[in-house]
């Protein structure tokens, strides 16, 4: 099944007093280009998250964003009582020595001094980290589901483009037989115009025409292009076929270009141009296939 490289996935989980939202999005890229935006509180899971994404998503420009909200007013602030009492007593003693009777707000001053009010860092235990890792995995699954749906549409488009190329290829057949007689007619007309008819060996002329017909023969190119198209249509249904499809389109392009160089017929040239147009559409879409 074809998978697109573009997609979006998300998941949510509640751990302790935190509600965590996970969003992951991807765009097309030749390799896995990973960007993680994880709050410092969850930094311990960084390597495991990278491993999950690498295993589940394979390829693409991937951005993972984790953000959280507190769902309870759990206090993470403590007062260092010993330090506060120590500051208070020292300020009181100094005030007494200086005989300062006007300002006795020792507690207010003490609270502003260093290491009295301590802010505890947010922490997450091992079990909560495991829950978060599972949530990341769920977000990846959601993204892959999105990729699969997009891939179905891509596959239909690509098959339509390839079938259009095959239709144009089959339309070449009626014009092939017209080419050699027209070439012969053109050569004879040139000979008459140059008054060289008496100097031309008829057998040699026929030999040259046979040689020319071999150069004009496009049977092999048509067979190879048809086989490449068939191989493309089989491969597009496989998982992780993007790179392989890119190589197949290169081969298709070579055969179409050779057909154009050998055409020597306006109607065939038009059909070749149509095939090139469809091939460019295929190349553009293949860039977005996983």
- The pLDDT assigned to 70 comes to 81
Give the C-alpha separation, 189 to 177, whole Å: 19
* CB 178, CB 38: distance < 8 Å: no
- Record the tokens describing residue 53, joined without a space: 């994404």
Q: What is the mean pLDDT of residues 64-91?
A: 79
Mean pLDDT comparison of 80-84, 188-192, 206-210, 231-235, highest-scoring range: 231-235
Q: Is 24 helix (H, G, I), strand (E, B) or coil?
A: strand
User: What domains are defined for the chain?
Assistant: 7-73+124-147 (3.30.230), 77-119 (no CATH), 151-286 (1.20.120)
pLDDT tens column, 2-52: 899 999 999 999 987 889 999 999 999 989 999 999 988 888 899 999 999
Is the pLDDT at 168 greater than 90? The verdict is yes
* CB 59, CB 31: distance < 8 Å: yes
Give the C-alpha separation, 256 to 222, whole Å: 9
Is the pLDDT at 282 greater than 60? The verdict is yes
- The pLDDT assigned to 288 comes to 92
pLDDT tens column, 198-228: 566 666 666 666 666 667 788 899 999 999 9
End-to-end CA distance of the chain: 10
Long-range residue pairs from 48-53, CB within 8 A, at least 24 positions apart, any chain: 48/133, 49/133, 49/136, 52/133, 52/136, 52/137, 52/140, 53/24, 53/136, 53/140
pLDDT tens column, 228-252: 999 999 999 998 899 999 999 999 9
Name beta bridge partners: 19: 14, 69
Phi–psi pair at 37, nearest 5 degrees: -120, 90
- The pLDDT assigned to 226 comes to 96
Give the C-alpha separation, 290 to 288, whole Å: 7
Is the pLDDT at 263 greater than 70? The verdict is yes
Q: Would the pTM of this model clear 0.85, i.e. be above it? A: no
Give the C-alpha separation, 287 to 285, whole Å: 5
- The pLDDT assigned to 213 comes to 62
Give the C-alpha separation, 260 to 234, whole Å: 26
pLDDT tens column, 129-167: 899 999 999 999 999 999 999 999 999 999 999 999 999
* CB 236, CB 280: distance < 8 Å: no
Choice among 5-9, 30-34, 72-76, 81-85 with the minimum mean pLDDT: 72-76
Is the pLDDT at 195 greater than 60? The verdict is no
Longest CA–CA separation in the chain, Å: 137
């Amino acid at each position: 099944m074809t998978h697109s490289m573009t997609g979006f996935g998300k998941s949510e989980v509640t751990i302790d007093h935190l509600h965590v939202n996970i969003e992951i999005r991807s765009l097309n890229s030749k390799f896995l280009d990973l960007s993680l935006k994880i709050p410092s509180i969850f930094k311990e899971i960084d390597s495991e998250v990278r491993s999950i994404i690498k295993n589940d998503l394979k390829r693409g420009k991937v951005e993972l964003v984790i953000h959280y909200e507190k769902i309870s007013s759990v206090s993470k602030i403590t007062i260092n009582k010993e330090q506060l009492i120590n500051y208070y007593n020292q300020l009181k003693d100094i005030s007494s020595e200086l005989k300062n009777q006007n300002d006795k707000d020792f507690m207010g001053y003490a609270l502003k001094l260093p290491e009295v009010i301590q802010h505890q860092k947010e922490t997450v235990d091992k079990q909560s980290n495991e829950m978060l890792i599972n949530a990341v995995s769920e977000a990846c699954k959601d993204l892959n589901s999105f990729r699969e749906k997009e891939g179905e549409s891509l596959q239909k488009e690509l098959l339509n483009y390839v079938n259009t190329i095959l239709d144009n290829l089959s339309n070449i057949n009626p014009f092939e037989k017209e080419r050699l007689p027209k070439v012969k007619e053109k050569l004879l007309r040139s000979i008459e115009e140059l008054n060289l008819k008496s100097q031309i060996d008829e057998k040699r002329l026929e030999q040259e025409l046979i040689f020319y017909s071999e150069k004009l023969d496009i049977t092999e190119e048509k067979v190879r292009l048809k086989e490449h198209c068939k191989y493309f249509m089989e491969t597009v249904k496989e998982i992780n076929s993007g790179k392989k499809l890119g190589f197949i389109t290169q081969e298709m392009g070579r055969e179409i270009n050779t057909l154009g160089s050998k055409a020597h017929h306006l109607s065939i040239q038009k059909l070749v141009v149509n095939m090139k147009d469809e091939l460019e559409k295929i190349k553009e879409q293949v860039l977005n296939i996983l």
